[in-house]
A and B are shown apart, each in its own frame.
Chain A
Amino acid sequence: MSIQEHYRSRAKELLSAGTVKMVIGYGAGSTPDRRRPVFITSPDEADRLVLDTTCRTNLSGYLLREGLLSDQKQVAVFLTVDGIRSLNVLAAESQLDTSQVLVFGFGIEGDQARAIEGERAADFKSVIAAAKEQRKSQPADELQEKLEAMTPKERFSFWEGEFSRCIKCYACRQACPMCWCRRCVVDNNQPQWVNTSSHTLGNLEWNLLRAFHLAGRCVECGNCSRACPADIPLHLLNRRMADEVQASFDHYPGMDEAQEPVLASFRKDDPETFIL
């Protein structure tokens, strides 16, 4: 039985038994290689669920929809390792209770999607630990390496060029499962920290601030870059932040739901190489 069939029948089973009130998964999109999120609430609809290598979006953010989990009922959701990590981060930040979430875990290897064993966020500890080790040995992104080799001036003008295309649509924020603030700092106008017009200065500040707010929380699912209509390589900023917290504080976000947020904790012997 293919993984798609496996999860379809599991969804049917859970919905008809009333164990879960909803299954958040992937459905057919506007073209054959696109997928869109679907929210299944009855067993007959379960056949709309699709699972293959084009299912890239991290769906965990949908769990935070207003009131969805407030009735203490359970919801099942399709998640990759990244998705499970963001689930853990959200739980660590008291945004949801993982006991209300059933995970349909999957991974994409080469040209096929595979199921990952486990149902609860806590069941995936070893998979996440393996992902942490793997990230350490992962080769650097080509563009990132090129950037690191540039002079500050060249890097500044690279980002200036990229951010000049930003139209401040905030799709990156909407797509990010970690951007859960009810009121975002950019929506604040007294004081107004970041220019809201879409000129390059405001765009630079917005994107830097966004990357900073995700430091130590981003699971590098890539939702932001995929959502960006201007194709700005936002994941590079997040990647660099993830490199930094891993190297400086050995922090890999989303290990488990009790993990302390890296910027809300400290060690007395943290490195401080650049402080005069």
Chain B
Amino acid sequence: MSEVFEPKIVAFVCTYCTYAGADLAGTSRLKYPSNVRIVRLPCTGRISPMFILKALQKGADGVLVSGCHPGDCHFDHGNYHARRRWTVFNSLLQFAGVPEERVKFSWISAAEGIKFAELIRDITEDIRKIGPFEEYHTLIAETGSAAPL
């Protein structure tokens, strides 16, 4: 018997913009899929590539990393540093063969509740289409220590 595939998505967001945006989506009663697990961090500058790998290692089918638009950072330039890091890490993920649909990066401000809800919808649909991250799940199973999200 096959169960309907429900993507597991982990979102690393900064507390001042994207988290507030997600909060706005909630208080505005906007609907978005419940497939996303939000991890709130002080700033995008705190989001390390290791978090992304860790999420995948725990069985995520997709990862979203999101923060304040350039120029809007609460800490003035945390997101500029994050942007460089993402540029490099994104390129590394592509080269390692992690499909680009799996790891997404975005800027969502505290006022963009609608953008947040739509983005989560789009990402969930995209991942639903390409299915579970089988290659990675196989590797996780090999370790004998699968720890589901």
Contact = CB atoms under 8 A, between A and B. Distances in A.
A binds B: yes
Interface of A: 147-148, 150, 152-160, 185, 193-195, 197, 199-202, 204-205, 208-209, 211-212, 215-216, 237, 240-241, 244-245, 248-249, 262-268, 270-272, 274-276
Given A205-B57, A244-B87, A270-B84, A185 B50 contact: yes
A155 B96 contact: yes
Given A199-B142, A212-B88, 12 more contacts: A152-B94, A152-B97, A153-B99, A200-B139, A200-B142, A201-B140, A202-B143, A209-B53, A215-B88, A263-B84, A272-B87, A276-B119
B53 A208 contact: yes
Contacts of B74: none
Contacts of A263: 81, 84-85, 88
B33 interface: no
A183 B144 CA distance: 27
A270 B70 CA distance: 10
- Of the four ranges (under 10, 10 to 19, 20 to 34, 35 or more), the interface on chain B belongs to 35 or more
Interface in B91-149: 91-100, 104-107, 119, 135-136, 139-140, 142-143, 145
B92 A275 contact: no
Nearest to B119: A276
Contacts, number: 123
Contacts of A212: 49, 88-89, 92
Contacts of B77: 266
B90 interface: yes
Interface string B22-65: 00000000000000000000000000011001100100000000
Given A200-B139, A263-B85, A276-B105, A159 B92 contact: no
7 tightest A-B CB contacts, nearest first: A156-B97, A155-B97, A266-B80, A276-B106, A201-B139, A152-B99, A244-B91
14 contacts: A150-B97, A156-B96, A156-B97, A156-B98, A159-B96, A185-B50, A199-B142, A201-B140, A209-B53, A263-B81, A263-B88, A267-B80, A274-B100, A275-B83
A245 B91 CA distance: 10
A159 to B, nearest CB: 5
Nearest to B104: A276
Contact of B49 (A195, A199, A209, A245): A209
B86 interface: yes
A266 B50 contact: no
Contacts of B104: 276
B84 A240 contact: no
Contacts of A204: 96, 139
A252 to B, nearest CB: 15
